[in-house]
Amino acid sequence: DAGVIQSPRHEVTEMGQEVTLRCKPISGHDYLFWYRQTMMRGLELLIYFNNNVPIDDSGMPEDRFSAKMPNASFSTLKIQPSEPRDSAVYLCASSLSSLAGAETQYFGPGTRLLVL
Amino acid sequence: AQSVTQLDSHVSVSEGTPVLLRCNYSSSYSPSLFWYVQHPNKGLQLLLKYTSAATLVKGINGFEAEFKKSETSFHLTKPSAHMSDAAEYFCFMDTGRRALTFGSGTRLQVQP
**pLDDT tens-digit series, residues A25-74:** 999 999 999 999 998 888 889 999 999 999 889 899 889 999 999 999 99
B68-89 pLDDT, tens digit per residue, is: 999 999 999 999 999 999 999 9
- CA pair distance B25, B91, nearest whole angstrom: 9
The pLDDT value recorded for residue A61 is 87
Residue A39's pLDDT is 84
A1 confidence band (pLDDT: 50, 70, 90): low
Contact B103, B5 (CB under 8 A): yes
**Are A45 and B32 within 8 A, CB to CB?**
no
What is the residue-averaged pLDDT of chain B? Answer: 91
Q: Which residues of B touch A55 (CB under 8 A)?
A: 98
- Answer whether A110 sits within 8 Å of B51, measured CB to CB: no
Residue B2: which pLDDT band, with cuts at 50, 70 and 90? confident
- B58-67: long-range contacts, CB 8 A cutoff, minimum separation 24: B59/B35, B61/B85, B63/B19, B63/B35, B65/B23, B65/B33, B65/B35, B67/B33
Contacts of A108 in chain B (CB under 8 A): 43
In this prediction, residue B100 has a pLDDT band, given cuts at 50, 70 and 90, of: confident
Q: At B97, is the pLDDT very low, low, confident or very high (cuts 50, 70, 90)?
A: low
